[in-house]
Amino acid sequence: MRPDIPQGLPKGLDITVPNVARVYDYLLGGKDNFEADRVAAERLVSLAPGVRETVVENRQFLRRAVRYLARDAGIDQFLDVGVGLPTQGAVHEVAHEVSPEARVAYVDYDPVVVLHGGVLLTEPDRSIVVQGDLRDPAALLADPGIRGHLDFGRPVAVFLLAILHFIADADDPYGIVAAIMGALPSGSYLVLAHVSADGVRDDVAEGAVALYSRASEPLTPRTREQVARFFDGLDIAEPGIVRDYAWRPDPSAGAAGPMTLAWVGVGRKR
């Protein structure tokens, strides 16, 4: 085994190809990344300085959304798809501050992420981590681990944060979201954060897309109007589809937000 690959990681791991989860981890200040990931992340920051602020604000939005759902909406079941490498303030940690009995199922298609998550995110009878691919929603929803952990007869909050922009149009991202929400009962929620090129120079957007074309997953930025389509048929919670820092900000955060690159929203199934 190469000395720069921690023991226990899956065989065949190619650390020469930037991995989107590890790039995200690096931008958050994590340690679960390799040189190719760090180089790609720094190139991305040089292209679009708002990238680092975006990933930080995305995590803050996650925390605020979980608190809102657990405290104000009475949600005690969460399905976090595309969880990425574990960081502090994960869904189950925030939910348990409000609802100690809340149950969380984490999903990721990356075996390295699942390996890490199995160690750092699982709590008996509270949170599990399973391997699954958002591009196959039927298989994901049928996963015996998820079905045994969550009660799909009661409302579930589905978190799709920083994942749908890695689903190409050819894979029908709108159909995927509709299939997942269609399988859940009334009162369930969709929580979404999606990278956009709105307000970004064309050359910067093209450069970012080109950079991710050499990573583990290509990038498909979408406009605010395209992001809003994911909420078709759902009641969107105030303040609507906004930049991540503007969604129910903590009063202590101040009025001004950073220049970020994501649209976010929370919608309730009728």
Q: What are phi and psi of 12, to 5 degrees?
A: 85, 5
**3-class secondary structure, 16:** coil
Query: Which of the four pLDDT bands, split at 50, 70 and 90, describes residue 199?
Result: confident
Q: Mean pLDDT, to the nearest integer, of 61-69?
A: 97
Q: Which residue has the higher pLDDT, 197 or 138?
A: 138
Is the distance from CB of 249 to CB of 68 less than 8 angstroms?
no
> Residue 151 belongs to what domain range?
51-199+219-269
Output the six-digit token pair for 59: 């995590």
Residue 129's CATH number: 3.40.50.150
- Classify residue 20: in a domain, yes or no: no
Above 90 in pLDDT, residue 234? yes
CA distance 194 to 220: 10
Instruction: Give yes or no for residue 73 having a pLDDT over 80.
Output: yes
Q: Does the pLDDT value for residue 213 go beyond 50?
A: yes
Residue 225 lies in a domain: yes
This prediction has a pTM of: 0.86
Residue with the larger pLDDT of the pair 150 and 203: 150
- pLDDT of 10: 54
CA nearest 73: which of 209, 228, 251, 237?
A: 237
**What is the structure's pLDDT at 136?**
97
Q: What is the predicted pLDDT for the residue at 147?
A: 97
**Residue 195, domain member (yes or no):** yes
* Cα(32)–Cα(191) distance, integer angstroms: 26
pLDDT at 40: 81
- The one-letter code for the residue type at 40 is A
Could you tell me if residue 31 is inside a domain?
A: no
Q: What is the mean pLDDT of the chain?
A: 87
Number of separate domains in the chain = 1
Structural domain contains residue 36: no
Which residue matches tokens 């750092």? 120
Q: Model confidence at 185, in pLDDT bands (50, 70, 90)?
A: very high
Alpha helical stretches, state H, 183-231: 202-212, 224-228
Cβ-based neighbour number of residue 5 at 10 Å: 13
pLDDT for res 184: 98
| Across 3-27, average pLDDT | 65
* 4 in a structural domain: no
24 within domain boundaries: no
Residue 161 has pLDDT above 90, yes or no: yes
Question: Is it the case that residue 250 has pLDDT exceeding 80?
Answer: yes
Question: Which pLDDT score is estimated for 2?
Answer: 39
